[in-house]
Amino acid sequence: MPAALNQHLGHDGSDCPDSYYVRTGGDRLHSTLHSQGAWQPGEQHMAPASGLVLAEVERRLPTDKVVSRVAFDILGVIHSGEFTVDVEVTRPGRTIELVEARMRHGDRTSVHARVWRLQSGATGPIEGHEWAGLPAPEDMREVSFQERWGGGFIASLEARQDEHSRPGHARSWIRAPFPLVAGEPDPPTAEFVKHVDVANGMAVREDPRTTFFPNIDLTIHLTRQPRPGWVGFETRVAFGPTGLGETASVLSDEAGPIGTAAQSLTVRTGEGTKQ
């Protein structure tokens, strides 16, 4: 594969499309610099990658069912450049179905998703939850996650955070300005999901220059279809004594809490932590 196909569009200083990806034909796409990850320059951030994988499910398999749970396993570095997304129904059903999708770079899969979609029903009269709501975005201070994190995706975000946020616990809102794919509107749930993986960088317990704590998965549970706009997080981070950790978040849109997300972390300290 030519070297240019392994690079983000815009990596060389050329004009970068105002999107996270560009479709090059059918199920093939190419990352832009706006999708760049925070740990290494030649990788994609899991946030837009997970949104893109779910978007391909929603575009190729339209349904009146709604996403209840989507679980992503990160099987290796999500490399920049060209890739393919494969989608298949593995458990069809009239009221419940399971769809699987894979982001593939040649013969290597970097992200594997399992998506449960359930029939919608009228349960408004018994709606309820025990999650605390967030202050509105305009009631939180503007912040820049670039003070701690690099990469094109983090640079693209608009962010707000509660003044009482601290290492290990934070309340935040973020908003991404670009569509996932140039010239294509984001499907509703994928538009929301493309923000969620950022949770692992919102309430960091330790400086990422000395402590390596990437997530190896992302699991999202939803109680309704998200509304477009700001995505809210109440996030807690825990590190254990043997290299394991978890980032757990209650997720909101501007109408209120909507579900939860969890990320399993591999935690390493000292020199050479990224190898």
**pLDDT tens digit sequence for 171-202:** 999 999 999 999 999 999 999 999 999 999 99
Sign of the C-alpha dihedral, residues 44, 48, 54, 56?
negative
Give the model's pLDDT for residue 125.
94
Number of domains in the chain: 1
Token pair recorded at residue 85:
């997304």
Torsion angles phi and psi, residue 155, rounded to 5 = -65, -25
233, 221 in Cβ contact below 8 A?
A: no
Residue 124 counted as domain residue: no
Give the model's pLDDT for residue 272.
47
Residue 110 counted as domain residue: yes
Residue 210 counted as domain residue: yes
Give the model's pLDDT for residue 74.
98
Give the model's pLDDT for residue 3.
45
Q: Name residues of the chain where pLDDT drops below 50.
A: 1-3, 272-275
Residue 156 counted as domain residue: yes
Give the model's pLDDT for residue 270.
75
Report how far apart the first and last C-alpha atoms of the chain are (Å, whole number).
25
Residue 126 counted as domain residue: no
Give the model's pLDDT for residue 55.
98
Q: What is the 3-state secondary structure (H, E, C) of the chain?
A: CCHHHHCCECCCCCCCCCCCEEEEECCEEEEEHHHECCCCCCEECHHHHHHHHHHHHHHHCCCCCEEEEEEEEECCCCECCEEEEEEEEEECCCCEEEEEEEEEECCEEEEEEEEEEECCCCCHHHCCCCCCCCCCHHHCEEECHHHCCCCHHHHHCEEEECCCCECCEEEEEEECCCCCECCECCCHHHHHHCCHHHHHHCCCCCCCCCEECCECEEEEEECCCCCCCCEEEEEEEEECCCCEEEEEEEEEECCEEEEEEEEEEECEECCCCCC
**CATH number, position 236:** 2.40.160.210
Give the model's pLDDT for residue 4.
63
Residue 173 counted as domain residue: yes
pTM: 0.94
Residue 4 counted as domain residue: no
The parent domain of residue 68 ranges over 21-119+137-269
Distance (Å, whole) CA 118 – CA 97? 7
Residue 75 counted as domain residue: yes
